[in-house]
A and B are shown apart, each in its own frame.
Chain A
Amino acid sequence: MQGAKFGEYGGRFVPELLMPALDQLETAFRQAEQDDEFKYELGQILEEFAGRPTPLYHAKKLSKLAGCKIYLKREDLLHTGAHKINNALGQALLAKRMGKKRMIAETGAGQHGVATATAAACLGFECLIYMGEEDIKRQAPNVRKMQVLGAKISSVTMGSKTLKDAVNQAIRDWISHTEDTYYLLGSALGPHPYPQIVRYFQRIIGQETRRQILAKEERLPTHLIACVGGGSNAIGLFADFLDTTVKMIGVEAGGKGIETGKHAARFSGGRIGVLHGFKSYVLQDKDGQILPTHSISAGLDYPAIGPEHAYLKDIKRVQYTTINDTEALEAFHLLSKEEGIIPALESSHAIAYALKAGFDEQDLLVINLSGRGDKDMDIVMENEDKREI
């Protein structure tokens, strides 16, 4: 199977029942990639409906604090408030092309769910979102949004009741309905061809960034920084720079600290395994049972990392590190007060790293501001109260 793996990572580790559907998806995707009309329609909807291109913003005060020039790629300014919409619209157009009538998706933080519900409403699909019961509790505003957009939400009560369990349910639903249903996977993971599809739709982030930074600074950045949950915003930023010498850093969720076991740091705490159809670094016990994860940001709270990231780490093209809950929260408050931008807690991990790492005056950083933090206000307030006590 060509291109099914990134080095030894990726693949299609799924029940036989899903093979025809995945073959069909791959064929449709390959055709769409070559179709100028599809690309035009995609460009139109990203511009006129989603609000692309997003600005590349020189954050002067943040730069001063970090000691080097920092630009923020403003995916938070997109319709629905995060980069997820790029992929949701792209795959929805693909689903329309394939003649599917029903769309399903998994969601953790709710951003992908909202993006999918938005794309479904815009393009005319029946929509069902699987969300863990625990996540429904902690991301209530997103839940309400999905409902208002016309999507149905199925609360997942099995397992740990978070993102990985929502993925299980979505896969099961798809297994039973492959003819009429499109499974809109939200990140750069899953069985082949999903990681490639998601990268394709997210790489507009890096494509724009490259043009914009050259126009403003007449040189490429020295470093790109992005938070990594499944890995879609990171690969979106990195993909168009892989052929350069630009350094790249992916920031995983350190949660309450690696030593506590309450985190989502797949590289530090995990080993190679197979989950949800792909081979990559997975947080698992010695038997191979998948472990529960923790991060203050629901969007980073997933036990496996996208396969392309595992490969990029192996070949040392990208460096991966962690930032914990406390550091992320501090960065959240700092960006809000210093730049007037409330970042998503996920993106706050990337900001925190930029401040922590000690860059040189000559360095030129681009940080992916993957989403805005409106959805996180309750969680932040909760943690405020804890601090006061």
Chain B
Amino acid sequence: MRIKERFEQLGKRKQIAYMPYLCLGDPDQETSIRFARELCNTADLLEVGFPFSDPIADGPTLHMAATRALKAGATTGRCFQLIKEIRRHTQIPIIAMVYYNLVFAQGIPEFLKKLSSSGANGIIVPDLPIQDAGELRCIAEDEGIDTIFIATPSTRPERLKEILRATRGFLYLLASEGTTGARENFDVRIVETIKTIKSISNIPIAAGFGISNGAQAANLRNAGVDGIIIGSRIADIYASQLPDKEKAIKGIAEFSREMKRAITGVL
């Protein structure tokens, strides 16, 4: 289903989205599918990362996840296969997070065509600024893929407006300054930023980077976000259990249930 539909559905139920992130191919193709299928049991949307050798927007946890995946033989082609496989078992929107060089190397039209065929619904390219995303946005629209852009609490007001105009599906809002990585504290400006965004646009807001527990998620929900993205914390959990795959899956299942509870809140 399309991203817009999903948020509308959740909005009607007065729920916010649980959006876990998984690095494809970590620690190997097969286990990655199992992790993804487990996450799909609780996820409202699923974000999947294409492992890259030089992921500057990622902290140590996700960089190591990418390194493991590449060591295990992850390729762009295999990532598309994984998405296809995940798609076979779920209807929820799947969003690819991929560094620009991996898109550029295939050729933008080719990459987006393959992404669309694999069953994904959205794409986030963290190192592609809006001013250089013209071709990507155009072709993605034709392929039925939402191009999601990122804003931060330190993004200037004029630029924030531009980003809001450009983004499709939802706005990815950074919850903390820095790279990905579970942490304790948040950028306090985020509450103001959320208010500002809501006053300009109706597009759903998903907050990510650094979220690691239910309390943080609940706070963000109260501040008005429509979705919570969690990546590093999940990777920390399964990485700490490997090579015991069963324990790893159990770990992320438990965590996901806990987050879902915190996010949906006590009514």
| Residues in B100-156 with C-beta less than 8 Å from chain A | 100-106, 126-129, 131-132, 149-152, 154-156
Given known A-B contacts A16-B151, A17-B177, A275-B54, A288 and B104 have beta carbons under 8 A apart: yes
- B127 / chain A contacts, CB cutoff of 8 Å: 13-15, 274, 277
Q: Does B76 contact A (CB under 8 A)?
A: yes
How far apart are B99's CB and chain A's nearest CB, in angstroms? 8
- B179 / chain A contacts, CB cutoff of 8 Å: 172, 175-176
- A286 / chain B contacts, CB cutoff of 8 Å: 105
| Residues in A277-317 with C-beta less than 8 Å from chain B | 277, 282, 284, 286-290
**Is the CB–CB distance between A273 and B56 below 8 Å?**
no
Query: In the complex, A164→B53 CA distance in Å?
Result: 10
Query: In the complex, A13→B100 CA distance in Å?
Result: 8
Closest to B131 in A: A1
Query: In the complex, A171→B57 CA distance in Å?
Result: 9
Q: Does A63 contact B (CB under 8 A)?
A: no
**Is the CB–CB distance between B101 and A282 below 8 Å?**
yes
Q: Please tell me the number of chain B residues within 8 Å of chain A, measured between CB atoms.
A: 41
Query: In the complex, A185→B178 CA distance in Å?
Result: 19
How far apart are B148's CB and chain A's nearest CB, in angstroms? 12
Q: Does A154 contact B (CB under 8 A)?
A: no
Q: Does A19 contact B (CB under 8 A)?
A: yes
Q: Does B232 contact A (CB under 8 A)?
A: no
Query: In the complex, A172→B57 CA distance in Å?
Result: 7
How far apart are B149's CB and chain A's nearest CB, in angstroms? 8
Q: Does B163 contact A (CB under 8 A)?
A: yes
How far apart are B133's CB and chain A's nearest CB, in angstroms? 10
Q: Does A159 contact B (CB under 8 A)?
A: yes
**Is the CB–CB distance between A289 and B132 below 8 Å?**
no
- A287 / chain B contacts, CB cutoff of 8 Å: 75-77, 102, 105-106
Q: Does B216 contact A (CB under 8 A)?
A: no
Interface hit among B59-67, B219-227, B233-241: B59-67
| Residues in A323-382 with C-beta less than 8 Å from chain B | none
**Is the CB–CB distance between B59 and A15 below 8 Å?**
no
How far apart are A285's CB and chain B's nearest CB, in angstroms? 8
For chain A, which range describes its interface: under 10, 10 to 19, 20 to 34, or 35 or more residues? Answer: 20 to 34
Q: Does B70 contact A (CB under 8 A)?
A: yes
From A11, A168, A172, A288, residue with most partner B Cβ within 10 Å: A288
**Is the CB–CB distance between A17 and B174 below 8 Å?**
yes
Q: Does B52 contact A (CB under 8 A)?
A: yes
From B53, B103, B152, residue with most partner A Cβ within 10 Å: B53
Which of B56, B126, B177, B178 is the one whose CB lies under 8 Å from A276?
Answer: B56
- A168 / chain B contacts, CB cutoff of 8 Å: 54-56, 63
Which of A172, A288, A290 is the one whose CB lies under 8 Å from B76?
Answer: A288
How far apart are B221's CB and chain A's nearest CB, in angstroms? 23
Q: Write the A152-168 contact mask toward B (1 if CB under 8 angstroms, else 0).
A: 00000011000011001
Q: Does A20 contact B (CB under 8 A)?
A: yes
| Residues in A251-289 with C-beta less than 8 Å from chain B | 272-277, 282, 284, 286-289
How far apart are B185's CB and chain A's nearest CB, in angstroms? 12
Given known A-B contacts A16-B155, A158-B60, A288-B76, A274 and B100 have beta carbons under 8 A apart: yes
Query: In the complex, A290→B177 CA distance in Å?
Result: 26
**Is the CB–CB distance between B54 and A159 below 8 Å?**
yes
From A19, A168, A290, residue with most partner B Cβ within 10 Å: A19
- A83 / chain B contacts, CB cutoff of 8 Å: none
Query: In the complex, A15→B163 CA distance in Å?
Result: 13
Q: Hey, which bits of chain A sit against chain B, CB under 8 A? A: 1, 11-17, 19-20, 23, 158-159, 164-165, 168, 171-172, 175-176, 178, 272-277, 282, 284, 286-290
Q: Hey, which bits of chain B sit against chain A, CB under 8 A? A: 52-57, 59-60, 63-64, 67, 70, 75-77, 100-106, 126-129, 131-132, 149-152, 154-156, 159, 163, 174, 177-179
> Can you identify 5 A-B contacts, CB atoms within 8 angstroms?
A15-B127, A19-B156, A176-B177, A287-B102, A288-B106
Nearest 8 interchain pairs by C-beta: A288-B105, A176-B178, A288-B101, A288-B102, A15-B57, A287-B76, A289-B53, A290-B53
